[in-house]
Structure 1
């Protein structure tokens, strides 16, 4: 449970939408979201594979490029992976010459991540991968449906206490 968000503090879903007597995992919203996330992640893997990147590496590079995350701790939070996994991810990307690590001047415990020139060059090619994934994953959706779905997902994330 996230700090400051007790389950009792969250708005509830009407019981009629989640009746245990009619429960079917294959139609459960949480299950479908996980399946959709996995499908979209696979699409990113396929699209970024020619650059030798995984989904996590592609997201990491984009977050660094956009200034959304500049430390391993921020990446861990944003990618929703543990610190050990972030360390391994950063190690691989640093060995490839895509990012560099540096210690903070004011606080040597703080690690800052920066894209290298090669990292910047790859970042220039990544938006097309994510755009293709959106087109593939949301084929048949109207722009209005996609915008509404995005807003709903933002609310789901906010209900979990995760700020973006």
Structure 2
């Protein structure tokens, strides 16, 4: 299955290499995720300024926010002021995550480096810039919550960058 840029979040994996689609066992939820990705891809291509299916956006926002929030709570993430995080950030400023983790066998530690790279990218505004204007301006509860989570990640990334 191939995804385009708008569905990049569906390509993210957990520590075992599973995507959100791999972890979703119910057919209806899988279909909702795939449909949301398709709608998001279409919106990005068309630069839509209007949400065409608010209930679908709300369902997808709720599911995605829950996945991100649960991952953050269970895995832990690098944070501002942590000496390990500072070391990782410095390494990632000059090397790719693959080069930093080359030869490492502990998957949890490799995942920590990947998380640090994601936070750095969020701190630079990378992923938020991929959101359509319509989604960013949506005032529905679940979508607002998702945007708050993404903004929090952006803030955490900015704080990691500020430590350099």
Q: TM-score, normalised by structure 1?
A: 0.29
Looking at both structures, which has the greater relative contact order when contacts are Cα pairs under 8 Å and sequence separation is at least 6? 2
- Looking at secondary structure, tell me which structure has more helix per residue: 2
Q: TM-score, normalised by structure 2?
A: 0.29
